[in-house]
Amino acid sequence: MSKIAAIQMVSTASIEENLTAAGHLLAEAAAQGVQMALLPEVFAVLEGGPMAPFAEELGSGPIQEFLADRARDLKMTIVGGTIPLATRPGKKPADSDYRITDGRVRPASLVFDPDGTLLARYDKIHLFDVKVADKQAAYSESRSYEAGEELVVVDTQCGRLGLSVCYDLRFPELFRALFLRGAEIVTVPAAFTKVTGEAHWEQLLRARAIENQCYVIAAGQGGRHNERRETWGHSMIVDPWGCILSQIEFGEGLAVAEMDLEYLRDIRQRMPIAEQMKL
C-alpha cells in the first residue's frame, strides 16, 4: 500500500508565489504520509504569453532545484506537473539541436525520487490548439511550446509510473501504449478549462483508468487566474475499477488516497485485457 496525492493549485505569473504555495501543499501531503505527489500542469508559472522567459535547461534552474530539494527534504517522489524547458531530451550541449531556437519551449513533466534525483522526463506530446466557448476563446499552445515525441514509463517506489499531460487525456492510444509498457499508475497534470473540464474531465479520467486497469492521479489547476483564464480543478485519484477515491473541487488543496497494487493485479488477472487484445 502507498499513499498518493494530487495537488491542486491556482497558479499565477509569479514563480516565487507559486513555488511558495506548492511548498506548503507538498509539506501538507508529507504530513499525511504521502509517498508520491503530483503537481498540476504549469504549476510554477501560468502565463498567457510566451514561456521562453521562464525556461530552464535540464538540470539547472530554480524550479528544478525546488522540486529536487522538496523531494529530498520530504522523502517523497514528486512529479513536477510541467515546467518550461529550453532544451530537448536525449541531446547533449554540443549537439546542434540541443537547444530550441525559435522562441518556444518544451512542456516537460519531471519525476524526482526521494533522494532528489531526476528519474524521468516526459515532454507533452499533444498540444492544446483548440477553440473553446470561454472568455479566452482560442488556445494555441503550439505558439509557445514544441511537442514531445516519446512515451515515458519509469519504476518508482510506489509502482511503475506512466506519464501524460492534460490534453493527452483525449488520446486513448497514448494510455494504451503506457499500459502495454507495464504502467500501473498514470499521472495527468492538467490545466483543463472550466468549459471543457465540466463537460469531459471526470469521464475521460475514469475511462482511461478502466480501459487500462491502472490508477490515475490527476492534478489540475482549479480557479480563476486572471480576467480571461479559469480552470476546472476537480483534481482526483481514480482506481483501476474507475472509482474516484478522493477529489477536491475548487481552489488549492490535496486529494489523497491509498493505492493498493495487489488490488490492481487482481483486477488484471481476473480480467486479462492485455492477453485478449485483438487489434
- E strand intervals along 126-234: 129-131, 138-140, 153-156, 159-163, 185-190, 215-220
Cα 147 to the center of its chain, rounded Å? 15
> Which residues 6+ apart lie within 8 Å of 89 measured at CB?
58, 106, 108, 121, 123, 148, 150
Judged on CB neighbours under 10 Å (0-12, 13-18, 19+), 234 is buried
Q: Which amino acid is at 269?
A: Q
What is the count of structural domains for the chain? 1
134 lies in which domain range? 2-276
Hey, CA dihedral for 55, 61, 39, 44, is it positive or negative?
negative
Q: 51, 145 in Cβ contact below 8 A?
A: yes
* C-alpha cell at position 108: 516537460
CATH code for position 141: 3.60.110.10
Cα 79 to the center of its chain, rounded Å? 7
Q: How far apart are CA 237 and CA 248, in angstroms?
A: 10
Q: pLDDT, tens digit, for every residue of 148-201?
A: 999 999 999 999 999 999 999 999 999 999 999 999 999 999 999 999 999 999
Give catalytic residues, as residue numbers. 41, 124, 166
What is the pTM for the complete model shown? 0.97
Q: How far apart are CA 17 and CA 125, in angstroms?
A: 28
- Average pLDDT score over the chain: 96
Q: How far apart are CA 86 and CA 25, in angstroms?
A: 27
Q: How far apart are CA 8 and CA 10, in angstroms?
A: 7
In this structure, what DSSP letter does residue 226 have? S
Q: pLDDT, tens digit, for every residue of 41-97?
A: 999 999 877 888 999 999 999 999 999 999 999 999 999 999 999 999 988 888 889
Q: Please compute the mean of the pLDDT values over residues 260-276 and round it to a whole number.
A: 97
Q: How far apart are CA 116 and CA 108, in angstroms?
A: 17
